[in-house]
Copies of this chain bind each other. A is one copy, B any other.
Amino acid sequence: MSKKLWETAPHLALRAGANFDLAGLDRSSTPGFDGDKDDGKDRMEERAELLNELQERLFAAGKHGAKESVLLVIQGLDTAGKGGIVRHVMGMVDPQGVAMASFGVPTKEELSHHYLWRVRRELPEPGKIGVFDRSHYEDVLVARVDELVEEEVWRKRYDEINRFEQKIVDSGTTIIKVALMCSKEEQAGRILERIERPDKRWKHNPGDLDTRAEWDDYQEAYQDVFRLTSTDYAPWYVVPADKKWYSRVAVTELLTQALIDIDPQWPKPRWHVDVQKRRLFETVDPDIVDELEQAVAEQVADAEDDHGDYLKTKEKVAELATVDDGDRAPTVEESEEDEALSNVRTMAAASTGVGKGAKDQDKDNKSKKSKKDKKSKKSKKDKKSKKKKGKGAKN
């Protein structure tokens, strides 16, 4: 299929820059994706194999000393499709590599600690893809809208969250923050469905109607989240969510691109192949050794073919990340669109430890870097990350 469905890579089309304007977001749109529901499903099937290998590599590297992990933070109001993302996107990869955590109303024990305490405990181990269904952002969303704490308390949290995430990124975790944004009308239909369908009723909570009544306050609170915590090292991706298929394919792409950026490598063995083979054959009937060797030679050849396919596919998908002339997230002033973009490439640099807080990022937006500049930064990072990986495997 030569159809170019993503005019723009999703992390370019969906990333919330400093001037992101939530009110301007068309929630039934499909930014960057020039296809329909069936195209979306095809795309997800197409990605399955690549995503699986990337995930397994991340897991394998993590088992052998590499530090990298991924944290997918999923936010959105009730019925926005958070559960569907977990089921349909995370359901594509090996459950052994996924660490789920969902953050509901805090328990008594959780309330007796700092609000980041329960979050810290659920951060993914090296090699894992952590998934947060809601997160520490509830502490500047529901806590703000429902006035659970004083304004001076939640106001301080944005910076605190930025510092917290900076540390997480520094420790080797790529953070993907996804906000699923559906329209108020669409939410009405989804809530009605939950009320009317016997197999959906268990999901409906009368409290969701109270939250819905605070719609505008939540939009404002989300706008501030994007304005204050979409950093270069942990940016927000605001995903229009009226079309469930779109939000799923978008998150699939975000996850795939993040893993390609990490570029996890199969660990090198700490043992010698010939020694292991000799020891193995001591336990095998000598008559079948030839047969075994032949069978495995075929498997190795197949694996080499697969590896070639993997490299080609990965390259092709990575290329998307260099296209930057498509749709983009809406910003407050049309003329400032470029600024939102100028930030995108520095995201890659963040994991080398040069990430900055939200305020510094604002400054960065003002100084536009040439594409060349950004590219050289990226390739430097690639080398560094490969070096680190090789070391990790020896630990």
Given the complex, which residues of B lie within 8 Å of A273, measured CB to CB?
195-196
Q: Which residues of B contact A215 (CB under 8 A)?
A: 283
B192 touches A293 (CB 8 A): yes
Residue A63 CB within 8 A of the other chain: yes
Tell me the number of copies of this protein. Answer: 2
Contacts A96-B86, A202-B267, A206-B271 given; indicate if A283 touches B188 (C-beta within 8 A): yes
Contact (A280, B87) CB under 8 Å given A196-B300, A266-B199, A303-B198: no
- Interface residues in A263-290 by Cβ distance below 8 A to B read 266-269, 271, 273, 276-277, 279-280, 283-285, 288
B267 with A209: CB separation less than 8 A: no
Residue of B nearest to A299 (CB): B193
The distance from the CB of A161 to the nearest CB of chain B, in whole angstroms, is 25
* B-contacting residues, A199-224, CB 8 Å: 199-204, 206, 209, 212-213, 215
Contacts of A303 in B (CB 8 A): 197-200
| Chain A 41-78 interface 0/1 with B at a Cβ cutoff of 8 Å (1 = within) | 00000000000000000001101100000000000000
Let me know if B98 and A195 touch, CB within 8 A.
no
What is the CB-to-nearest-CB distance from A25 to chain B, in angstroms, rounded to a whole number?
19
State the CA gap A189–B60 with chains docked (Å).
Answer: 21
Contact assessment for A292 and B189 in the assembled complex, using a CB-CB cutoff below 8 Å: yes
What is the CA–CA distance of A293 and B100 in the complex, to the nearest angstrom?
35
Using known A-B contacts A94-B86, A195-B273, A266-B199, determine if residue A188 contacts B299 with beta carbons closer than 8 Å. no
Q: Which residues of B contact A195 (CB under 8 A)?
A: 273, 276-277, 280
Residues in B neighbouring A266, C-beta threshold 8 A? 198-199, 201-202
The reply on A319 being an interface residue by CB < 8 A is no
Contacts of A267 in B (CB 8 A): 201-202
Contact indicator per residue, chain A 167-201, by CB within 8 Å of chain B (1) or not (0): 00000000000000000110011011101111111
A196 with B94: CB separation less than 8 A: no
Interface: A91 (CB within 8 A): yes
Residue A26 lies at the interface, judged by CB distance under 8 Å to chain B: no
Of the listed residues A202, A206, A283, A296, the one surrounded by the most CB atoms of chain B closer than 10 A to its CB is A202
Q: Which residue of B lies closest to A94 (CB)?
A: B87
For residue A188, which residues in chain B have a CB less than 8 angstroms away from its CB? Answer: 280, 283-284, 288, 292
Chain B hits for A100, CB < 8 A: 95-96
Question: How far is the CB of A190 from the nearest CB of chain B, in Å?
Answer: 9
Residues of A in contact, count (CB < 8 Å):
64
Interface presence of A295 (CB below 8 A): yes
CA distance A292 to B296 in the complex (A): 59
A206→B271 CA distance, assembly (Å): 7
Q: How many angstroms from the CA of A266 to the CA of B96 in the assembled complex?
A: 28
Main DSSP-derived SS at the A contact region: helix
Give the CA-CA distance A276 to B185 in the complex, in Å.
16
CA distance A98 to B277 in the complex (A): 37
Contact of A202 among B64, B293, B296 (CB under 8 A): B64
Residue of B nearest to A302 (CB): B197
- A308 in contact (CB, < 8 A): no
Q: A359 an interface residue at 8 Å Cβ cutoff? A: no
Interface: A249 (CB within 8 A): no
Q: Is the CB of A271 within 8 A of B204?
A: yes
B95 x A212 contact (CB < 8 A) = no
Q: Mark A114-137, 1 if CB is under 8 A from B, else 0.
A: 000000000000000001010000
* Cβ contacts under 8 Å, A254 to chain B: none
Give the contacting residue for A185; candidates B91, B200, B285, B300; CB below 8 A: B285
Please list the 7 inter-chain residue pairs (A to B) with the smallest Cβ-Cβ separation, ordered nearest first: A60-B202, A201-B269, A87-B94, A202-B267, A188-B284, A192-B296, A195-B276
Q: What are 5 residue pairs bridging A and B, where the CB atoms are less than 8 Å apart in the complex?
A: A198-B303, A201-B267, A202-B266, A206-B271, A209-B276
